Amino acid sequence: MKDLFRFLKFFLIFFAISILLEIVTLAIESSYLKKFLEANILTILLAFLAINTATLGVIASKVQEILAKYPNNTFSTTISEMCFSLKEQVLLLILSLIILICQDSKIIIFAYKDLIFNSALTAIFFYSIYVLWDTGKAVFIMTNLTNNLSNVDENSNNTYKKKDSF
Per-residue model confidence as pLDDT tens digits over 67-104 = 888 888 778 888 899 999 999 999 999 999 999 999 99
| Integer Cα distance of 151 and 149 in angstroms | 5
165: number of Cβ within 10 Å: 6
Q: Which of 8-12, 24-28, 30-34, 147-151 comes out lowest in average pLDDT?
A: 147-151
Q: What is the value of pTM for the model shown? A: 0.87
| Integer Cα distance of 106 and 118 in angstroms | 16
